[in-house]
Structure 1
Amino acid sequence: MTLVVSYCIFIPIDIFMDKLHNEGIDNEFDAWLTFLGCDDINYIGKLIEKYPSFTPMYQDLYDMCLNVEEVMKMFSKELQELDQNTVIYMIDELQDQLDNANATISEKDAQLSQKDATISQKDATISQKDAQLSQKDATISQKDSTIADLQAKIKELEAQISH
């Protein structure tokens, strides 16, 4: 169903055509509705008779229809502009997506840097604890050596006592 649009009012074409058929063209509003929404030659004739100011507009439309090549050029230019606008829109959309992706990557990089710093701190702590363990191992080894020496002396003394 086709709609006639005027003053932001949507009128179904069948209701408009019924009104036009029953009441005719009563005022300039009806004239404009007829011009914009009716292709019946009888009503166009009545419109031009009652409102001759529409004649140049119909003449322009008629001339355009006769010159099909010019109409095609006009549509071709409009389609080319639509294509350019579509390309620009798509580039803008892709740029927005790229900007969002870059922002997400930057956030992830910051998080990774923070985690790397935390890991570095933990590595330093582990290294420090490893050094402490090595020191304790050295102390234990030293004490083990002292114990071994003392045990050897005890055996010597026991051997001397038993002779």
Structure 2
Amino acid sequence: MQPSKQALDRMSVNMYRKENHKNRNMKRSKIRMILGTAILCVWAFTGCCCYKTTGKIQKVGYKEAHNYFLNQGQERAVGSKITTQKDFDRCFGMAAFMGKGGNPTVINFKKEFVIPIVLPETDKDTDILDVSLEGNERELKLTYRVKEGKQQSFFMQPIKLLIVDNAYKQAQITVYKL
């Protein structure tokens, strides 16, 4: 005995409803999963990006390294970081002399890193003045001024080496020359 046309129509409508219901539930589940993943990603990235950015801007202490010179053929961008003794020795040599204050400043790269201010060679008496370093663990602002004096009979390359605590090692450095 074969089912009537009406019975077949009811069965197909019921099957359609069940299938449609399953599809709606699957769509809802997918949407929930996508939204949940998106919310989790936003939360995770926001946590990473905002880490320590709320640290207030403050003066950052530094020491100045003395009795070093830039090795021949080396160039350093102002605001770059030197974080290892090997990199430092490749760029800078010791300029020790006899007497008080003649030894080069000792730098402990396990606790400190160096920010060099290296200017082009010049035959003018040139000083790097008013050095200021401020910021937080995420960003540092390096500001300095250059004073040019009288012409000399020889060339020099003005440098200033700032020794900064490793707490600021990951900071992005922005340089402002006044």
What TM-score results when the alignment is normalised by the length of structure 2?
A: 0.32
More helix by percentage: 1
> Which of the pair has the greater relative contact order for Cα pairs under 8 Å at 6+ separation?
2
**TM-score, length-normalised on structure 1?**
0.35
